[in-house]
Amino acid sequence: MDIAISPTRPDADTLVLAMPKGTPDRLPVAASATLVAGAAAARFTGEVGTTFESFADEGGKVLRIVLLGTGTGNDADLERAGGALTARLLTSGATHAAVEFVGGASGAGAARLALGALLRGWRIDTYRTRQPEKAKPTLTTVTIVSAEAGAAWERHAAVAAGVALTRELVSEPANIIYPESFVERCQHLAELGVKISVLDRPAMEALGMGALLGVAQGSARDARLLALEWDGTDGAVETPLVLVGKGVTFDTGGISIKPAAGMEDMKWDMGGAGAVAGAIKALAGRKAKAHVVGICGLVENMPDGNAQRPGDIVTSMSGQTIEVINTDAEGRLVLCDALTWAQKNYKPDTVVDLATLTGAILVSLGDQYAGLFSNDDGLSDDLTAAGKTAGEPLWRFPLSDAYNKLIDSPIADMKNIGGRYAGSITAAQFIKRFIDDGVKWAHLDIAGMVWSDKPGATFDKGATGYGVRLLDQFVADKFER
């Protein structure tokens, strides 16, 4: 589905009248009495995301008319309204919808509605060969009738493209997206000016990445470390913000194997790496004046005869040793080496990692918030504010020495899990041990947010693309020149 911006209404088969909360008598004076009476009879009052649909004869052509409620008319409501419009029309038979704003709308507001419409229209039909005709998308274009939305839309379009990349990576099955093919899917970012670097297994072995490679050793798919560098400052900012994503392209749990029921969902255990790749695409697409590096640690966790065993001890790139108590606590093993490599190579002041790390975070927060852990109050506040603005909320959890002691090992520097309780916190405490002194760090546990079993305001069932808009907003707020 495409978004177009036009100062005048095009020849479309559907006319959408977007209107704030009120009564149908706010419709243009040219609206038919039947439309006004019908909207009143259906109790349409412009509540955000509500619709009323009718048809009219316009110059001998039957025109579908949709009244779309935009609620208070603020940006968040306009975005939700755009999503509701696409959800209503995507498979309705309509092909081209023109959106006009009753009472007018700012260019920024009109663009925000367009963003919601585009995000809600994303879906993956690649493998559907017997889809009923009525289930196939028909809506190809939404035109926003506005003379002022163009500039704002350029930025939103770039961010939407980043979200689409993340959703694509998260949605694809593990026989399609694995470490090497994940890297290939990101190669097009070079066309946007992104510098791409890749480490293969021999390179990581030479660097001593025993933790990351220990996770990968049971798979026929070799691990990769992917670095995506966007410098929109033309070298003026030497020290980049570093984003690190967990990229377990499929997680069986290894020898500590997961139950069979629901294991197919573990194709999205690379959601952190997917969010990092999508964020870099968004920043490069809108030419953000910031220097940002995205690191994706990419592995597959499988249980073959060479797989890592519970009780094994591995040596991380940092030199710290880890007793592997549970091979299904693998994400932190991937992140620790990726973080060490990132800090040694880029010397960042600030690092943010994202990972679908623990089931415990779902117990705590469900699918409403991602967990936030940080060694810096200011960074925590900045990320929380960015998440609120972007509509991708965070909730901060504590860190302390009391939790830290739970991962001490009697025979190594640490073990990779704590006890039964506070699983998300002890995982964060593990990662914190690999953060260099003086580096501001935040860990986002996004396990409850990257996938949804039901549609949301701006996504269908499946991959949500969570993290891209949060990171883009964070960069815009704190790192753009």
Here the CATH number for the domain that contains residue 116 is: 3.40.220.10
**Residue indicated by tokens 């495409």:** 2
The last residue of a domain, from among 132, 149, 166 = 149
Q: Is 272 found in the same domain as 221?
A: yes
Q: What is the pLDDT of residue 24?
A: 59
**Do residues 47 and 185 share a domain?**
no
* CA distance to 64, 236, 289, per residue, from 355 (Å): 44, 30, 26
> Is 332 considered catalytic here?
yes
Q: Note whether 140 and 161 are same-domain residues.
A: no
Over the chain, what is the mean pLDDT? 96
Per the annotation, the verdict on 388 as an active-site residue is no
Per annotation, catalytic residue among 21, 26, 201, 258: 258
- Residue 276: predicted pLDDT: 98
pLDDT mean over 110-118: 98
What's the pLDDT band for 25 if we cut at 50, 70, 90? Answer: low
pLDDT digits (tens, 9 = 90+) for 338-376: 999 999 999 999 999 999 999 999 999 999 999 999 999
AA identity, residue 416:
N
Answer yes or no: do 200 and 181 share one domain: yes
| Residue 242 exposed, middle or buried by CB count within 10 Å (0-12, 13-18, 19+) | buried
119 and 197 share one domain: no
Query: Percentage of the chain with pLDDT > 70?
Result: 98
In the chain, the number of structural domains is 2
* pLDDT at position 186 over 80: yes
- pLDDT, position 26: 65
Q: Are residues 113 and 262 in the same domain?
A: no
Catalytic residue among 224, 332, 415, 440: 332
- Reply yes or no on whether the pLDDT at 29 is more than 80: no
- The whole domain housing 373 covers 157-478
Residue that terminates a domain, selected from 149, 165, 188: 149
59 pLDDT tier (thresholds 50, 70, 90): confident
For residues 299-327, average pLDDT: 98
142, 188: one domain? no
Mean pLDDT of 186-203: 98
Higher pLDDT, 12 or 22: 12
Specify whether 161 is located in the same domain as 143. no
Q: Has residue 23 got a pLDDT over 80?
A: no
Whether 335 and 444 map to the same domain: the answer is: yes
* pLDDT above 70 (res 404): yes
Q: Could you say which of 149, 177, 202 is where a domain stops?
A: 149
Reported as a pLDDT band with limits 50, 70 and 90, residue 51 is very high
Torsion of the alpha carbons at 23, 26, 29 and 35, rounded to the nearest 10: -40
On whether both 244 and 118 belong to a single domain, the answer is no
Comparing 35 with 203, the larger pLDDT belongs to 203
* Alpha carbon separation from 8 to 5, 11, 117 (Å, rounded): 9, 10, 19
For 112, list phi and psi in degrees, rounded to 5.
Answer: -70, -35
Tokens of 38: 């019908």
Please tell me whether residues 122 and 189 are part of one structural domain: no
Which pLDDT belongs to residue 32?
74
**Co-location of 105 and 236 in the same domain:** no
pLDDT on residue 297: 98
Give the CATH number for residue 366.
3.40.630.10
